[in-house]
Amino acid sequence: MTAPVRILGIDPGLRRTGWGVITVTGTKLAYVDCGVVTSDGELPLALRLRELHEGITRVVRGFAPDEVAVEETFVNKDAQATLKLGHARAVALLVPALAGLPVSEYAANLVKKTVCGAGHADKVQIQAMVKFLMPKAEFKTADAADALAIAVTHANHRASHALKSRHAPVLGMSALAASRIAAALAKAG
């Protein structure tokens, strides 16, 4: 029997970052919990990011996921909103990386296509499919449902990530990056 894998899905947002935890055993999905980390819109950006960092850190520590999936940034016409989303997304990527967890990223259309079968599904369809896939799931916000959908997407695509990492160069990505940084510092010094 395959050991269960705990997956944390994160739907980043500066005002509300949704999170959802599931376990996957073979092809069986099981709901664990979900919620939202919020930041106070009256605070300066740095303090709002700190609130997100602290909240996501609590989730990572509390649920001890094995793997994390984060939705990629959706670029829209409002550059300022996109930039703020990018800041929140950076925190969502950084917290699990600092905890030593593998982090995968998924485009919104892939999440919708994986969960609903269509790349342009709306929030109501996503919520209905998450509830269909995991009848015990209880979410109060669309952000939490989206985070569960991101976790489900990772559960469906994690084998391809594992295959890619098995065929990665022997040096490994972090060691390669470290050697490049060291080389650049040596040239500068």
List the catalytic residues: 11, 71, 143
Order across the sheet with 5-11: list the strands.
28-38, 16-25, 5-11, 67-71, 103-106
Q: CA 123, CA 154: separation in Å to the nearest integer? A: 18
CB 153 within 8 A of CB 115: yes
Contacts of 118 (CB under 8 A, 6+ apart): 112, 125
**What single string gives the DSSP state of each residue in 133-171?**
H-TT---SSHHHHHHHHHHHHHHHHHHHHHHHHHTS-TT
Amino acid residing at 60: V
Q: Which two tokens stand for residue 146?
A: 């989206």
CB 156 within 8 A of CB 133: no
